Structure 1
């Protein structure tokens, strides 16, 4: 297990704890159990109808094979980088920039999963060795699919900036933003701002709040007389306003 630091545009690093091989394997076992239960239940249902051999083969492909094959691709995209197994093990797939992976990155991971999948354990030994060796040898515990896609699997159990969203619903109010420059920052930048603001508020640390506020003002060339915590709250609200107003 190791940590990866990703610099933001205003020189504050986001730090992620990479997932170790054992937690990833346990997450895979949970997902395997879900897929196995689905397969057994659907197979018994299909057999009970006594379809012809041709019809059975078609239904097995459509109802069994495709959902099992697309399991990781569909769920990781729809669940924001997680599957039920990863969610239970507090793991998440993110890009090397700290943002949510793109669809193409998920697709690359899925394609390489077919090469690496432990489902082929009883047929070939290499598909089991490839991810284990890759995770053990790469700096950030990446399997081959992660390396090619530019993603990592992180432990989110102790990472507040990942688990806590920066989203604030501004659509229900007649909110008037003050700092349009805030759109120059990214989601990961704002996640860090929120993390540090929450820390400053919890510890009543005015020095930390002042440092973060000063850095944001410096990077974005903002002049404001608002108190530091109020300023940071305002930029978070402004960011949500500008990034969601067209959605």
Structure 2
């Protein structure tokens, strides 16, 4: 394993531990066995239907070939960068910015997986030779699909994450900021605001949220009728918007 530091817009370096080739291979083996077991069940079910050859081929294509082909794509999108194999071994796919990969990044990884694994039902070792060679030569154990998509596979056992900072990805929404005055505060100030907001939400402490909201309004001369926690969430979102919109 090796560590990678990802700089954010808030002068904070996020440090992740990348997964090595062996553990990624073991995760692939688990996913391979899951797909193999599914294929066996489908074949048994189809054989019990006593269909003619044409109908059997169509049913197998619909129930086995297509689902197995899109297994990684669907699983990683639905499970936030994980598959059952990755989840069991505590790893996940993230973007090189530290965010959850976009759908297009997942799609690129999947398309290159098809290139890297040309034999869907071939010998057990053939589909993993190309990725293993690529990962072995990459400093962050990236396979070809990772290199093109701009993703890495990290260990989720590492406690640090982007959720622990003030970062919030506003790039995928048509967000409209409300308080431009927020840019008068520093990264340190906003991290403290998030820390206190998280504490207030966790403890259900409305008094603490009210104190923080009042202080921000007082310093920045903001007038707002938003509920205190909603106001603080908006402040954090606004800061993210103004900080990242030109990046």
Range of TM-score over shorter length: 0.5 to 0.7
How many residues matched? 200
User: Which deviates the most, 35-44 or 156-165?
Assistant: 156-165
Q: Distance in 2 between matches of 1:46 and 1:72?
A: 24
- Quick one: structure 1 residues 163 and 53, their matched pair in 2 at CA, closer, same or farther if it must change by over 3 Å? farther
Alignment root-mean-square deviation, CA: 3.9
Q: Is contact 1:132-1:143 (8 Å) kept?
A: yes
Aligned position for 2:73: 73
Q: Distance in 2 between matches of 1:47 and 1:56?
A: 8
Aligned position for 1:20: 20
Query: Following superposition of structure 1 onto structure 2, how do residues 169-208 of structure 1 map, counting pairs within 5 Å?
Result: 193=191, 197=195
TM-score between both structures, scaled by the size of structure 2: 0.67
Q: For structure 2, which runs of at least 5 residues remain unmatched after alignment? A: 167-176, 200-215, 221-229, 241-247
Q: Distance in 2 between matches of 1:46 and 1:165?
A: 51
Q: Is contact 2:179-2:238 (8 Å) kept?
A: no
Q: Secondary structure at the residue paired with 1:22?
A: helix
- Quick one: structure 1 residues 146 and 193, their matched pair in 2 at CA, closer, same or farther if it must change by over 3 Å? farther
Q: Is contact 1:121-1:128 (8 Å) kept?
A: no
Aligned position for 1:151: 151
Would you identify which runs of 4 or more consecutive aligned residues in structure 1 move more than 4 Å? 118-121, 162-166, 177-183, 233-238, 240-243
Q: Secondary structure at the residue paired with 1:87?
A: helix
2:44 aligned with 1:44: yes
TM-score between both structures, scaled by the size of structure 1: 0.67
Q: Distance in 1 between matches of 2:232 and 2:178?
A: 8
- Quick one: structure 1 residues 10 and 123, their matched pair in 2 at CA, closer, same or farther if it must change by over 3 Å? closer
- Quick one: structure 1 residues 135 and 163, their matched pair in 2 at CA, closer, same or farther if it must change by over 3 Å? farther
Aligned position for 1:83: 83
Q: For structure 1, which runs of at least 5 residues remain unmatched after alignment? A: 167-176, 184-188, 202-216, 225-232
Q: Is contact 2:14-2:162 (8 Å) kept?
A: no
Shift of 1:165: 10
